[in-house]
Amino acid sequence: MNIKKLLFSHFCILILCFIAFAQPSQQPTELAKYIQENYTKREIYITARDGMKLFTAIYEPKDKSQKYPILLNRTPYTVAPYGADKFRQSLGPSELYAREGYIFVYQDVRGRWMSEGEFVDVRPDIDNTDKSKIDESTDTFDTIDYLIKNVENNNGRVGTFGISYPGFYVSAGSIDSHPALKACSPQAPVSDWFNGDDMHHNGALFLAQNFSFFSAFGQARPQPTSDGSSYLKPWKGRNTQDGYEFFLSLGGLKEVADEYEKSTGVRIKMWDEMMARPNYDQWWKDRNILPKLKNVGCATMTVGGWYDNEDLYGALKTYQHIEKQNPKIPLNVLVIGPWDHGGWSRADGDWLGTAYFTEKTGKYYRENLELPFFNHFLKDKGDISKIKEVNLFDTGSHDWKSFDNYSPTASKETPLYLNANGKLTFEMPTSSGAEEYVSDPMNPVPYTQKITRNYPRDFMTEDQRFASTRPDVLVFQTEVLTEDITIAGDIKPNLFIASSGTDSDFIVKVIDVFPDNYQYPAGQKPPQNSAWTVLQPGGYQMLLRGEPMPARFRNSFEKPEPLKPNQATKLNFVMPGAAHTFKKGHRIMIQIQSTWFPLVARNPQKFMQNYKLGTQADFQKATQKVYFGGKNSSAIILPVLKK
């Protein structure tokens, strides 16, 4: 039991990283006391249309002199603490809401923790022509309908909020909105687990974070329970925290799953589903919520972080699809700041790892954007004049920029060309050729210097000098910039590549290289937990964006194709966007490699109908070429803001 409790404790810490980080950044002793003194709590079951009962915790203000709107959070990560006399330490999206006065409702989604029914990962949305059929939209509708009719002192208005997986439930719950749903905020919402969120990016499996996540979350809950340790089976295998060595020793993806089962006696259903489906088939398409975001009748604020390696794609795409598919929506806005996954809800937002952004962006967002949004649409109060259509924090100039859309029409797609001798220019190369490297899956390029088996979210701003000296990483950079260059929108690598193998990943990293004499402002230094080495900030190669692209998917995610060995091949793809000013005196750097381990599962570098069933014996070295100049001129297309 002690081992199980240790695993459960680790699981809870992990889950807090994936959700809204509901507890505020400071120790909330005073706030917790305020909540207990000013709120009552009760726990009920709300019956969905098919008879399943959904466990729901309701926190209501003791002051009955006014009516309050309802803020609803539906989660697969537990509404704990359980018990009518056990209170959460914070209520709502941040520490600001408890004193503002709302009725707060937390619900275990169907099939998780104390709720009845079967849990289905990213349950597909259906048309609901049969009123007895359910999805997350109907469960949200039924919950809101019950609350409006049965919770005293509510003002008839409901808002929903959630980060990451709970963000998915916000998006799903806004489809065919209940008339009382007036405001929702999907934050880092899961949207498409094959193309850009969490599980895969462009079909490449993200290994480290998903092994860590599903090793606990993926274990089946046999019956409703408030005690996760009662059914979780702990990992009994080798427990080194060196993730690079840990995953290297496990072997290929088939061996990863087999070793997990050998250690725990458990097969993870969702993991096996993913392993069986290497391509973008109908099963994956059914779980893509983006084309189904229709009939959204509530004001919507979608939120994300530029350095959210899990669900930046989801935030950008959710806003865009709601905008396109709901012309009559009351308000649809996007907010993206310099944050990691959920960082806007808890952090000051002036630092992320070793990157410094000058202002406390998280605090600004919570006070000036999020709270006024909910207050305005749920309470008829709150100044929303600072909320623009598209609100993007420029991670280079350190200021907020507003646009009428995403990608901004104010940007011009501008090629940044790869040249001989590692040069990058905005002019077409005058000579042609290719740079090459040998990619060895048994000696993959690490994605971080930190020793960890999960993954540190601040790797997204990590200094890339540790990678730039490896022989299997191509490095291209501009001369020192003589003027500021601002980009806003998606980044589009247009490469010509070749491989001695029949399949390979190509990872592109966009990097801001700081001047050699750069120093942090006086009195400023990275937070202690990010200073894993003594950073010399002069020459800092700050990662801005990184993304893998499997060559087999170059023409279709549905129908992969092998490469013809050593034949020049076009490889175009889209990286999640950025709003960033490369300052005068800086350089722009591009790094290209074929492994990014163990963040991204290794490609065997030979074409397989299902690479996910490969073993270590399938891995092979490959000589990779990236061409420049002439008819095979590789470039990174940047969305340069017009002056």
The dihedrals phi and psi of 54, each to the nearest 5 degrees, come to -105, 120
Residue 528 — pLDDT band, cuts 50, 70, 90? low
The dihedrals phi and psi of 582, each to the nearest 5 degrees, come to -80, 110
In the prediction, which pLDDT does 239 show? Answer: 86
Q: Between the CA of residue 436 and those of 243, 334, 433, 444, 629, what are the distances in Å?
A: 28, 40, 10, 16, 15
**Residue count of the chain:** 643
Highest mean pLDDT among 160-164, 231-235, 449-453: 160-164
Residue 167 — pLDDT band, cuts 50, 70, 90? very high
Per-residue buried b or exposed e for 347-381, using 16+ beta carbons within 10 Å of the residue's own CB: bebbbbbbbbbeeebbbbbbebbbbbbbbbbbbee
Is the separation of the CB atoms in 543 and 448 below 8 Å?
Answer: no
In whole angstroms, give the CA distance from residue 225 to residue 455: 29
In the prediction, which pLDDT does 19 show? Answer: 39
455: which 2 tokens? Answer: 């993954």
Residue 7 — pLDDT band, cuts 50, 70, 90? very low
Is the separation of the CB atoms in 467 and 445 below 8 Å?
Answer: yes
3-class DSSP state for residue 551?
A: helix
Average pLDDT over residues 245-267: 95
In eight-state DSSP terms, residue 528 is G
In the prediction, which pLDDT does 643 show? Answer: 83
pLDDT-wise least confident of 26-40, 70-84, 354-368, 425-439: 26-40
The sign of the dihedral angle between the CA atoms of 140, 145, 150, 153 is positive
Mean per-residue pLDDT over the chain, rounded = 93
3-class DSSP state for residue 291?
A: helix
The dihedrals phi and psi of 174, each to the nearest 5 degrees, come to -90, -15
Residue 42 — pLDDT band, cuts 50, 70, 90? very high
Please, which residues have CB within 8 angstroms of residue 21's CB and are 6 or more apart in sequence? 163, 342, 345, 346
In the prediction, which pLDDT does 22 show? Answer: 39
Candidates 446, 472, 443; CA nearest to 546 is 446
Q: Between the CA of residue 118 and those of 54, 72, 254, 492, 610, what are the distances in Å?
A: 11, 21, 27, 40, 29
**Kind of pairing between the strands at 399-403 and 390-394:** antiparallel
Average pLDDT over residues 393-413: 92
In the prediction, which pLDDT does 6 show? Answer: 39
pLDDT-wise least confident of 120-134, 499-513, 596-610: 120-134
Candidates 165, 175, 43; CA nearest to 106 is 43
The pLDDT of residue 3 is above 60: no
Candidates 279, 242, 237; CA nearest to 260 is 237
Q: Between the CA of residue 414 and those of 182, 434, 587, 641, what are the distances in Å?
A: 41, 22, 16, 10
11 against 59, higher pLDDT: 59
In the prediction, which pLDDT does 532 show? Answer: 44
In the prediction, which pLDDT does 21 show? Answer: 38
In the chain, % of residues over pLDDT 90: 88
pLDDT digits (tens, 9 = 90+) for 533-582: 456 789 999 999 999 999 999 999 999 999 999 999 999 999 999 999 99
In the prediction, which pLDDT does 534 show? Answer: 52
Residue 580 bridge partners (DSSP)? 487
